[in-house]
Structure formats: structure tokens, C-alpha cells
Amino acid sequence: MKLCPICDRKAEGEYCNLHETAYKNIVQMFEKWQSSKGIDWKEYLGRIEVNPNSGSWVLEVCKYLLSREETS
């Protein structure tokens, strides 16, 4: 069984369904940030990671994605 790399819950695709929803929202909202602030993906993740209105699963996905960016 595949596990979510963030929380060890059962994963259907890449993440568990909770982190999957958060991930989808992150991807979906990027366009808006990009057009209004002209920032790239990595900067975007950094910005929502420190935003107090971001949900906790969003924060967890951001942290995970950023740590992957660093190692790659």
C-alpha cells in the first residue's frame, strides 16, 4: 500500500486525500498569485507557507514541496 509522504495515511495518488485536496488548491491558486504578483512557483510556496490564512494541510504540503525543491 502506498503511503502519503507527509502523514503516513493511505495514499490514492501521490498524497492522502486530505493532502491531495490541499495540493490541488495550491496548484489551482498559483495562477492568481502569478498574475497579480508576478512570482514563480518556489517563491509562491514560500509566500503561502508564511501566510496566517493558509490551512494547516496547505502548510504541510508547502513544507514538503519546498524541501523537495531544495534536495533536487
Partner 1 sequence: MFCTLILSEKREAAERIARALDDSGTPKKLVEHGVPYFEAMQKNRQILVVPAIGHLYNIAPERGGRFYYPVFNILWKPTSQGSRETHVRNWIKAISSLSKEASEFISATDYDIEGEVIGYTILKYACGNKEANAKRMTFSTLTMIELRDAFQKLSSNIDFKLAEAGETRHIIDFLWGVNLSRALTLAVKNWGKGFAILSTGRVQAPTLRFLVDREKEIQSYVPTPYWEVHAKARIGGKFYEIEFEESKLDSEDMARKIVEACLGREGLVEDVDTRIFKQSPPTPFDIGTLQAEAYKLFGFTPSRTLTIAERLYLDALISYPRTSSQKFPPQINCREIIMSLQKSREYAAFASELLKKRDLKPNEGNRDDPAHPAIHPTGDLPEKIRDSSQLKIFDLIVKRFFAVFSSPAIKEGIRITIKVNENTFFLHGRRIISEGWLRFYEPYGQADEVILPTLEKEQKITITEVSSKEKYTAPPPRYNPASLLKMMDDEHLGTKATRANIIDTLYQRGYLREERMAVTELGFNVIETLEEYASGILSVDFTRNLEDKMETIEKGGGRKEEILIEAVQRLKTILEDLKNREEPIGEELGNAARRARVDESVVGICPVCKTGNLLIIHSMKTGKRFIGCSNFAKGLCNASFPLPQSPYTVKSLKRNCKVCRWPMVLVKSRKRQPWNLCLNPYCPTKEHQRRV
Which residues of the shown chain bind Zn ion in the complex (CB under 5 A)? Answer: 4, 6-7, 9, 16, 19
- Is the distance from CB of 62 to CB of 42 less than 8 angstroms? no
Cα angle: 57, vertex 21, 52; to 5 degrees: 35
Separation of alpha carbons 3 and 34, rounded Å:
31
By CB under 8 A, name the one of 4, 6, 11, 26 that touches partner 1.
Answer: 26
For the bound state, the minimum distance from the C-beta of residue 35 to Zn ion, rounded and expressed in Å, comes to 29
Query: Which residues contact partner 1 (rule: CB under 8 A)?
Result: 10, 17-18, 21-22, 25-26, 28-29, 32-33, 35-37, 48, 51, 53-58
